[in-house]
A and B are shown apart, each in its own frame.
Chain A
Amino acid sequence: MKIKDLKELLDADVLCCEENLSRHLYSACGCDLMSDVLAYVKDQGALLTGLVNPQVVRTAVMMDLVCIVFVRSKLPTEDIVELAKENGIVVLTTDKRLYEACGILYSNGLGVKESK
């Protein structure tokens, strides 16, 4: 699916990099532990998380992730959004919980494909 499909499915708001909404997603992970995110490379992935701090964005940058979704209406601070913006990463917020958000995406065909 594309990031814009994810946005529709999760009824999410876009906080930055709207111009990248047509990028493809091939995998996703839902996690609050950044080292777990860092453990396995995901191809063109999205990160769904309830954790809000700059390390979430740095983790996404290291992993070449293309999209971050903050769940349960958590609002990142401006510096967090700015860091994502500098790196072209789409940031979204949804009022759904992590489990629900992941379930919706999974049942709509976004799997957990990993590469290398």
Chain B
Amino acid sequence: MSEPLVFHYDIDGEDFISAGQASIQIKKNLRRIGLSPEVIRRVSIAMYEGEINMVIHAKGGTADVLLYEDRIEIILADKGPGISNIEEAMQEGFSTASDTIRSLGFGAGMGLPNMKRYSDKMTIDTTVGVGTTVTMVINIT
């Protein structure tokens, strides 16, 4: 079993304007490695939504992208407020985001559904008051 190639990013939770920089970086790295445009697009969109969520809901966190031979794992971990009702959070249109965030183009409640749509597998591990870890797997076909 070969070791995965790991990309690690710290996501600054203070600054909505720069949110998404890690996802841009990942996109560049995966292009350089030469993965298919479709896989790269799915990884970068899913990670981008996750990165935005960590900034607007959890004051930042870390992102690790693990590149295996047959798949990519994206692990987004934060020490934010956690999610009390995952089922509700997964519904399209459900959002607790502020009007300010909405006026900036996010907070439509489509982030988690989009992340699920673009990944082959997604798990959410969350504890209220402790934090949230979202893991997404995208197969390389």
A residues bordering B, Cβ < 8 Å?
Answer: 32-36, 38-39, 41, 51, 53-56, 58-59, 61-64, 116
Inter-chain contact A41/B108, CB cutoff 8 Å: no
In the complex, the answer to whether A63 meets B20 with C-beta atoms within 8 Å is no
Of chain B, the residue at the smallest CB distance from A56 is B105
Which chain A residue shows the least CB distance to B16? A55
Known: A33-B108, A34-B106, A35-B114. 13 other contacts (CB 8 A): A33-B106, A33-B110, A35-B105, A36-B108, A38-B48, A38-B49, A39-B117, A53-B104, A54-B18, A56-B105, A58-B48, A62-B20, A62-B41
Contacts of A34 in B (CB 8 A): 105-106
Does any Cβ of A come within 8 Å of B44's Cβ?
yes
Q: Which residues of B contact A33 (CB under 8 A)?
A: 105-106, 108, 110
Interface size class of B (residues with CB under 8 A): 20 to 34
Contacts A63-B45, A116-B38 given; does A38 touch B105 at CB 8 Å: no
Q: How far is the CA of A22 from the CA of B48 in the complex (A)?
A: 29
Partner of A61, one of B24, B105, B108: B24
Please determine whether A54 and B37 come into contact, CB atoms closer than 8 angstroms.
no
Binary contact track B8-26/A, C-beta < 8 Å → 1, others 0: 0000000011111001100
Q: Are A38 and B45 in contact (CB under 8 A)?
A: yes
Within 8 A of A (CB), among B73-123: 104-106, 108-111, 113-114, 117
How many interface contacts (CB-CB < 8 Å) are there between A and B? Answer: 65
Alpha-carbon gap, A38 to B117, bound state (A): 11
Taking the closest CB of chain A, its distance from the CB of B38, in whole angstroms, is 6
B104 near A36: Cβ-Cβ < 8 Å: no
Give the residue name and chain of the A residue nearest to B41 (CB): A64
Task: Kindly report which residue of chain A lies nearest to residue B105, judged by CB atoms.
Answer: A34
Chain B residues whose C-beta falls within 8 Å of the C-beta of A39 in the assembled complex: 110, 113-114, 117
Q: Which residues of A contact B52 (CB under 8 A)?
A: 55
Q: Provided the pairs A33-B105, A35-B108 are in contact, do residues A58 and B24 lie with their beta carbons within 8 angstroms?
A: yes
B122 to chain A, nearest CB (A): 15
Residue of B nearest to A55 (CB): B105
A116: chain B residues at CB < 8 Å are 38
Partner of A35, one of B17, B27, B110: B110
A55 and B108: CB pair below 8 A?
no
**Contact in complex: A38, B110 (CB < 8 Å):** yes
